[in-house]
Chains A and B, each alone.
Chain A
């Protein structure tokens, strides 16, 4: 471990310490303070000369003291010797030199660094950078054309990315997301949507029932809904049946729940998982995502509904051309189906919609029209992800997941 001179230290070694130059000047004849001020490094010189008791100032004149005279006689201060050879200097002197930033510690591998000069090195090191020796070495070339061992970053699942992008589009259109659920009382899944308990879509082959203990439906609301059923469908409505828990089989269940707490005007959507008993194959799963929602405002009419569907076709399916067909849902009247001309898939049935029946909204005390819509996303998702078997939407093939560069494609 050694010490080397700083730029200032080198200057002092060559020209002498400023306080020495000051007293040498004074020793040639007393000088007034005013005149001495013009000397180079006067402030430093004055500070140290005073500290060493080499001078005194009387009536604006700087005078040499006895110690000052002695310093000149000896011709060299101890410090000058120390600066000449800092490695051998006393600790006190070294301390002062360090404090005055005239020397600094030199790194311990100077010899080793020295030996690298002019050579080809393998690694660039912090010492090479700090010492500046990097200027005097060359670096061994790598095979810069080699990408190295395959690296797999952490990533979201491609299907999840697709769903998140859809969601972002809906949010940008001003839709608020409804909290998804797996398990709901059948009341929300069917009864509140005016589907009679005798409806064929409520049979054991169409809805999964579960053993669950969820809070029962509010009795007042249940009665209002039950009354609508009995008035129109000609059967005895059962609250017990409505309280049975099911796996949500249609996303509209969430829209029905939203009627309890609806902002008017309001726009809501859900991208929720729904469940249907089926045989699992390349085109069917027991569970899938449904994009659904409602729009409520006193000004809403059927032409707005068509306009909304058209904008979904454009924004979600990238379709310019659409066709509307009369359709049927138990909970909407009038009802419509939209087909859209996808740029690659051709005409696809994109979704369905309608205006909630009065029988649906009346029990909630809502008089404003509510547009309810649903968009099928599976085919679009499969197309986007480049897969032909619906089961692959949930792919657990790590190789495929690692090599699926979803962001690049979209």
Chain B
């Protein structure tokens, strides 16, 4: 969900209309935008659609809004004679390239800033950090076509953007900040773009040349190269940039790409065609819509639609690669109609509600423990090896996170007793006795989820029976039989610990916590505790 800084005046001049804040808010909805902040001319727009890069810029918003206001501006491009030769050897390295050039642009400071912002968003949101898509924009005035996209050789030195000294591609990877940042993308070979005089235009996806590839207010004509690993996205990205330059008054020229697949003109301008039945449109919208109305609404979304019997065929311009089928058409109909112009209807379906079985039963366990006078704790489901094993004097497997973010949260909790010990450690200075329980979901080392309940009592003096009697009360009130059997468990004091056997099956443990465990959690008072796996109840 890119949030985009926009000059309100700029947006208004692109659209050719001034807006009050309220009008602007409604207009932005056509571009799936929400006015996030407004501070005089500086506004921030949250564009909701992460699948519509054509909307991620002030030019894109203006284009979409103009369609909806009935003042459409269709994209046009003239075929040029310029050819880009892509060497077949790039097929396994960075296979796709799409290019075009635009003439007659008057750059302003703000435009250059906006352009850099859009480039960044495209790289981050769809380019997967320049792997799938990377953009280069150069001064077409300095380029002598035709152009070659090939593997760089190390004798080809050029000044990278921001530097004046000549560097070889290898030196750039080792020394230039962008080289260091993105060198992982060119392990198999370094692609380079040169003109007919062997002047370097750019070294995708890393850096432009400081001479041909530098954009400032003096540049009038630009050359755009987009390279990457996803053909559809490479072409879409080029198209989005080209359309934006047209919004700024530029004239776009297509170039011929000759690559391992053959020849094609770029950007690709073939229409996206989808269809929907009239009845589906009416049913999903909840409106009685005739073909004429639908065609009218779709034209405001930039689609040329026609009716063929009961079928609506919608032809979208090439940048609408997000359109897959009927539901996309229907959303466009609804957006043009205006979500807030629809009257809502309460769904009138009689169904019987209910809690899930496990949640209902956990509620019963909680009721009994609360009735026994225990305060409920709720802990994070994520924990770490130290809390589960080392501090509890245990060893054993845990369901581990393979990409942890934070050393405190590296695994799913296996038991609740350590969570409660952790709870006590945060309450050393609060009034005793402390009687706390937790009931919840845990997972074993294989990721198998179970339900568990644990309770602890901490006080200056404690007596085993205080906790064993609570465990008995819990199990009995759940309708099962508890018996205890002497056990030896490292978490508890030897001789003050028993296995909890519920209806003949071992389900848990009860006893007085081992002083070393108490110290491991930074505590000073004795602790009694139990933990029981609730498989007998919830299974």
Contacts and interface: CB of A to CB of B under 8 A. Distances in A.
A208 B375 contact: no
B399 A210 contact: yes
Interface string B443-469: 100111100000000000000000000
B60 to A, nearest CB: 14
Given A333-B331, A401-B375, A307 B345 contact: yes
A70 interface: no
B380 A396 contact: no
B498 to A, nearest CB: 24
Interface in B307-329: 324-328
B342 A306 contact: yes
A152 B426 contact: no
A335 B339 CA distance: 10
B344 interface: yes
Contacts of B431: 150, 152, 398-399, 402
A157 B349 contact: no
B327 A334 contact: yes
B363 interface: yes
Contacts of B427: 396-399
B81 interface: no
A285 B448 CA distance: 24
Given A174-B350, A179-B358, A247-B412, A210 B447 contact: yes
Contacts of B504: none
Interface stretch (A76-84, A124-132, A275-283, A382-390): A275-283
B402 A287 contact: no
A11 interface: no
Nearest to A201: B50
Contacts of B381: 182, 273, 275, 287
B355 interface: yes
A326 B65 CA distance: 14
B447 A304 contact: no
B359 interface: yes
Nearest to B402: A209
Interface in B325-357: 325-328, 330-331, 334-335, 339-340, 342-347, 349-357
Interface in B1-47: 29-30, 32, 34
A178 to B, nearest CB: 7
Contacts of A277: 403, 405
B366 interface: yes
B69 interface: no
B430 to A, nearest CB: 5
A243 B334 CA distance: 37
B125 interface: yes
B354 A327 contact: no
Interface in A291-348: 295, 297, 299-304, 306-311, 323-328, 330, 333-337
A328 B374 CA distance: 45
Contacts of A401: 375
Contacts of A286: 380, 382, 405-406, 409
B400 A174 contact: no
B369 to A, nearest CB: 7
Contact of A155 (B330, B376, B378): B376
A171 B355 contact: yes
Given A301-B284, A324-B339, A179 B125 contact: no
Given A247-B412, A286-B405, A328-B52, A265 B376 contact: no
Interface string A114-158: 000000000000000000000000000000000000101111110
A19 interface: no
Interface string B470-484: 000000000000000
A3 interface: no
Interface size class of A (residues with CB under 8 A): 35 or more
A212 interface: yes
Given A287-B380, A326-B29, A394-B379, A212 B403 contact: no
Nearest to B342: A303
A334 B322 CA distance: 12
A37 interface: no
Nearest to A369: B284
A183 B449 contact: yes
Contact of B283 (A152, A301, A324): A301
Interface string A194-209: 0000101001100011
B48 A173 contact: no
Interface string A236-262: 000000000101000000000000000
Nearest to A232: B324
Contact of B347 (A160, A204, A295): A295
A63 interface: no
B402 A177 contact: no
A214 interface: yes
Contact of B375 (A154, A180, A214, A232): A154
A303 B345 contact: yes
A278 B409 CA distance: 11
A212 B379 contact: no
A190 interface: no
A380 to B, nearest CB: 17
Contact of B403 (A208, A232, A279, A335): A208
A339 B7 CA distance: 25
B378 A159 contact: yes
Nearest to A181: B449
A182 B358 CA distance: 14
Interface stretch (B112-120, B170-178, B205-213, B433-441): B433-441
B396 interface: no
B377 interface: yes
A288 to B, nearest CB: 10
Given A174-B353, A176-B353, A325 B339 contact: yes
A271 to B, nearest CB: 8
Nearest to A177: B356
B373 interface: yes
Contact of A297 (B349, B404, B443): B349
A308 B230 CA distance: 39
A222 interface: no
B264 interface: no
B401 interface: yes
A225 interface: no
B75 interface: no
Contacts of A1: none
Given A182-B441, A303-B286, A326-B32, A209 B349 contact: no
A156 B376 contact: yes
B366 A180 contact: no
B375 A265 contact: no
A358 B446 CA distance: 35
A66 interface: no
B353 A170 contact: yes
A179 to B, nearest CB: 5
Nearest to B437: A154
- For A167, A203, A209, A328, the residue with the greatest tally of chain B CB atoms inside 10 Å of its CB is A328
A302 B354 contact: no
Given A358-B327, A397-B426, A176 B354 contact: yes
Contacts of B107: none
- For A179, A263, A266, the residue with the greatest tally of chain B CB atoms inside 10 Å of its CB is A179
A157 B436 CA distance: 10
B470 to A, nearest CB: 11
B51 interface: yes
Interface in B366-413: 366, 369-382, 399-406, 409, 412
Given A304-B344, A325-B34, 16 more contacts: A160-B378, A176-B354, A279-B405, A285-B380, A301-B283, A301-B285, A308-B347, A325-B32, A326-B30, A326-B49, A327-B49, A328-B32, A337-B48, A396-B426, A397-B426, A399-B431
6 contacts: A182-B449, A301-B283, A302-B285, A326-B331, A394-B378, A396-B423
Instruction: Give the 5 A-B residue pairs with the shortest CB-CB distance, closest first.
Output: A212-B447, A301-B286, A334-B331, A303-B286, A306-B344
